[in-house]
Amino acid sequence: MEMILLQAAGQNGGSPFSSVIMVVAIGLILWLFMIRPQQKRQKELQQKRDALGINDRIVTSGGLYGVIKDIKQTEFVVEIADGVRVRVDKGSVFPAGDPEAAAK
């Protein structure tokens, strides 16, 4: 009977070192499966934005489709209809690609 009680007491009093290892392991798993892939996607999107040039088709975060007509320091001048041009922040622009290719 005493042996069973001693074993149970030993199992309940875990070392604080194992708790630290568990917290570090959970942090590492979160970084590997959530944070790192998101950083990778953001880096790829930034590279695509940097590669945009005049006459490229884009879509804004608000859903407006257009063609880049001028590039400035922090913004694009985008033509959304014949003769209608708007200034759009570079951070809210995504490459639209070719709509004909997307339909196929």
- CATH value at residue 103: 2.30.30.140
- Which pLDDT does position 19 carry in this prediction? 87
pTM for the model: 0.62
| 104 and 57 in a common domain | yes
Same domain, 29 and 61: no
Q: What's the longest Cα–Cα distance across the chain?
A: 91
- Co-location of 2 and 47 in the same domain: yes
For residue 34, give the DSSP letter: I
Please provide the average confidence, as pLDDT, over all residues in the chain. Answer: 82
In a shared domain, residues 6 and 35: yes
- 39 shares its domain with 64: no
Residues whose CB falls within 8 Å of the CB of residue 78, separated by 6 or more in sequence, listed in order: 58, 60, 64, 66, 67, 68, 69, 85, 86, 87, 88, 93
Q: Which domain holds residue 15?
A: 1-51
Q: What's the confidence (pLDDT) of residue 71?
A: 93
Q: Are residues 60 and 96 in the same domain?
A: yes
Residue 57 and residue 33 in one domain: no
Closest CA to 66 of 38, 93, 29, 100: 93
Does residue 43 surpass a pLDDT of 50? yes
Look at residue 12 in the predicted model and tell me its pLDDT. 53
- Identify the pLDDT of residue 14: 63
Query: Is 38 in the same domain as 60?
Result: no
Q: What is the mean pLDDT of residues 25-42?
A: 90
pLDDT for position 101: 44
10-30: average pLDDT: 80
DSSP state of 92: G
Whether residues 77 and 103 share a domain: the answer is yes
pLDDT at 96: 85
Split into its structural domains, the chain has a count of 2
